[in-house]
């Protein structure tokens, strides 16, 4: 089974904020694959079903971002998941708005949700998909920026990125991460597919 975790903050206040890209991607996956993410287990909203013919558990931790690792650790332990079958989706302000980047492993960078996961599971060797939210432009403090709502001009870029992220997850499950990296690690508005 694959475990696909989208990072975000629970509650209406954070619904359409830049920091909730992971939640948006899980919602898109749930919609595309008819999976209901409505059971509260392991400090998360979860739902299971099939994506690209593979069993998958969709996860939205409800712990708030900085404690996301508690939920992820519980799930990995409970289901005895290999780390290569864990995919974490989250926002990244070092990527331009609308870009997505798939990686097999890596550091947390400045992302507190990823710091929490790596700290809790004691490994950074798991796949992740970062969704670019762009830089704050220096005007807003980074915290205000990531917890702020996406601008009207960025909405379409974000929607497209979330859609591509959902497709990329399907590609990882069906064809493997190398194929997905080749197809989806492209600039927004460009397609690596012929």
pLDDT tens by residue, 94-138: 888 889 999 999 999 889 999 999 999 999 999 999 998 877 555
Cβ-contact 9, 16 below 8 angstroms = no
pLDDT in tens, 20-34: 899 999 999 999 999
Binned at pLDDT 50, 70 and 90, residue 38 comes out as: very high
Output the pLDDT for position 191: 46
Write out the catalytic residue numbers: 19
Cα 178 from Cα 103, distance rounded (Å): 9
Name the average pLDDT for the chain: 89
Instruction: State the burial class of residue 191 (Cβ atoms within 10 Å of its Cβ: 0-12, 13-18, 19+).
Output: exposed
């Amino acid at each position: 089974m694959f475990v696909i975790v989208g990072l975000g903050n629970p509650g209406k206040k954070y619904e359409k904020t830049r920091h909730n890209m992971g939640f948006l991607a899980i919602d898109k996956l749930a919609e595309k694959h008819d999976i209901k993410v409505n059971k509260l287990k392991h400090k998360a909203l979860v739902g299971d079903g099939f994506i690209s013919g593979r069993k998958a558990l969709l996860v939205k931790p409800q712990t708030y971002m900085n404690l996301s690792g508690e939920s992820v650790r519980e799930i990995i332990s409970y289901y005895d998941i290999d780390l290569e079958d864990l995919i974490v989706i989250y926002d990244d302000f070092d990527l331009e708005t609308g870009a997505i980047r798939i990686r097999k492993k890596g550091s947390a960078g400045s992302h507190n949700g990823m710091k929490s996961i790596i700290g809790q599971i004691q490994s950074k060797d798991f796949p992740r998909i970062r969704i670019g939210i762009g830089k704050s432009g220096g005007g807003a403090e980074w915290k205000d920026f990531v917890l702020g709502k996406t601008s009207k001009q960025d909405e379409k870029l974000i929607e497209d990125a979330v859609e591509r992220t959902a497709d990329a997850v399907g590609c990882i499950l069906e064809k493997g991460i190398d194929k997905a990296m080749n197809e989806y690690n492209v600039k927004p508005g460009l397609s690596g597919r012929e």
